[in-house]
Amino acid sequence: MPAPMQIYNTLSRRVEELEPLEPGHVRLYTCGPTVYDYAHIGNFRAYVWEDLLRRALKLAGFRVTQVMNITDIEDKIIKKMNDENLTLEQATQPYVDAFFEDIDTLRIERAEHYPRATDHIREMLQIASALRDRGLTYESQGSLYFKIDSFDGYGRLSNLENREVMSGARVDSDEYGKDDARDFVLWKGHREGEVSWPSPFGEGRPGWHLECSAMAMKYLGESFDLHTGGVDNIFPHHENEIAQSEGATGKPFVRYWMHVAHLMVDGEKMAKSKGNFYTLRDLLERGHAPRAIRLLLLGTYYRGSLNFTFEGLAKATSEVQRLDDMAARLEREPAGSDGHDEAFDARIEERVAEFKRALAADLNISSALGAVFGTVREAHQALDRGELPSGSREQLASAMDVFQSVLDLAAETDAGLDEEVEALIEQRNAARKAKNFAESDRIRAELTARGILLEDTPQGTVWKRKL
Ligand code: AMP
Ligand code: ZN
């Protein structure tokens, strides 16, 4: 049985224990990218946090089936096609490819399914038809609308007050605010110059909200456990997903909803439309390390907003460096003795328990990171005292494995490169002994160019990888 996991449920506005419909198996839907441009690091705050959630669930012992949709038909995509005279494929495929490259760069574990909206038009039309058959829709000027006052629970997730709901008035755009809580479009009637599909309601294309309901229910069932996204998705997107799905099936759609707060820049949400954004590629070009960006996005409790600054990124970089330094030191300094330091082992065991407890408490990442860096400190202290026997090193290594199964911040090891570096360091030492400083400088420069930094210490030359 998995260990209990407490999460804050947006729907109940309380911290609750996550109890999946099928014991031990969490079915999770995470709203994915709209592929008309590169995702910015605000989007990646959401995806990296969802990766933390997924990995924390797995650490607690749950099996996870995760779906992340690819929105490849939506208002912004249509606009791009028209502005730049592109086919749907030309407008979207480069950004689908970029998205997968970026999630690999950030070490976001792959979901089980990445369905694309355009491959699920049939499922969307089935939901729309079911809604029409149940009398929850009406047609106007070739489009099909959801009548929000026909669905009792409308507004429950976003705490929308009755007086704010304006049924009878309509909204056609995929994105809108609470001020526009009106009947929303399920199927948009064909307009000149737009891609379209045939349907029982005439030629047209799906509304964005319908897309997620169809893909979620196809892969996870009509009722499933957990649905996430950024807080900007609560209204209207998730509110509309609930109305459509429950309206069509008559069953509860999702039991738990979790939402991540925004990545901000100078007090404002990072957003394409505001122009205040960095893509992952922007930061990599400036020389920042993917692992540091991952830690920066991961390291703040998800329900609080996170202000993006380069100082914050520098701090994350030095924290990742601390993890690397400890790993390098353990490799460099052989164990002096066999056996265990019992007191050390007990402290490490407690840190691991603390890490798990923190993540199970609504993903309290600050405490979890406290346990990790506390462990790093203990390890340095034990090494400084020259008291880390081989059994305790193994204990430490398995603790780090638990941490890294969730954080995934360890340096990639490359045994071939390591050997080459060691050989070059030997050559450099020989050159220095022979007072051939030109040669020793050349070797240092060659290593620097390959991202390897040398430091000459009283114990000899040590090296580390530039992040
Ligand atoms: P979009 O492509 O705009 O639909 O966004 C994809 C995901 O990123 C959604 O879950 C959004 O809620 C989330 N998102 C967008 N901007 C931000 C931001 N500045 N901070 C955190 N999450 C964001
Ligand atoms: Zn969605």
pLDDT in tens, 67-76: 999 999 999 9
DSSP-derived letter for residue 267 is T
Of 369, 362, 317, 307, the closest CA to residue 41 belongs to 307
Spatial separation of the C-alpha atoms in residues 7 and 117, rounded to whole Å: 29
Supply the pLDDT for residue 355. Answer: 98
Q: What ligand has the least distance to the C-alpha of 234?
A: 1
33 C-beta closer than 6 A to ligand 1? yes
Supply the pLDDT for residue 232. Answer: 96
237 C-beta closer than 6 A to ligand 1? no
235 C-beta closer than 6 A to ligand 1? no
pTM to 2 decimals?
0.94
Instruction: Name residue 204's beta-bridge partners.
Output: 189, 197
Q: In which residue ranges of the chain is pLDDT below 70?
A: 162-163
- 212 CA to centre of ligand 2 in angstroms: 5
Supply the pLDDT for residue 163. Answer: 59
Q: What ligand has the least distance to the C-alpha of 68?
A: 2
Of all protein residues, the one whose alpha carbon is nearest to atom 21 of ligand 1 is 262
Spatial separation of the C-alpha atoms in residues 387 and 268, rounded to whole Å: 50
CA atoms within 13 A on the CB side of 174: 19
Given the structure tokens 């737009």, which residue do they identify?
A: 194
Query: Ligand 1: which atom is nearest the Cα of residue 230?
Result: 12
222 C-beta closer than 6 A to ligand 1? no
Query: Ligand 1: which atom is nearest the Cα of residue 263?
Result: 20
Given the structure tokens 């914050």, which residue do they identify?
A: 312
CA atoms within 13 A on the CB side of 16: 15
- 233 CA to centre of ligand 2 in angstroms: 7
232 C-beta closer than 6 A to ligand 1? yes
Query: Ligand 1: which atom is nearest the Cα of residue 33?
Result: 2
Supply the pLDDT for residue 164. Answer: 72
Q: What ligand has the least distance to the C-alpha of 238?
A: 2
77 C-beta closer than 6 A to ligand 1? no
Supply the pLDDT for residue 162. Answer: 63
258 C-beta closer than 6 A to ligand 1? no
Please confirm whether the linkage preceding 4 is cis (ω < 30° from 0).
no
Q: 244-257 b/e with 16+ CB inside 10 Å = b? A: bbbbbbeeebbbbb
Return the H-helix or E-strand segment holding 170.
strand 166-171
Q: What ligand has the least distance to the C-alpha of 34?
A: 1
CB 265 within 8 A of CB 307: yes
Cα separation of the two ends of the chain = 39
Tokens (6 digits) for 274: 């505001």
Tokens (6 digits) for 228: 């996430």
99 C-beta closer than 6 A to ligand 1? no
Span 21-40, pLDDT tens digits: 999 999 999 999 999 999 99
Of 49, 47, 87, 92, the closest CA to residue 72 belongs to 92
26 C-beta closer than 6 A to ligand 1? no
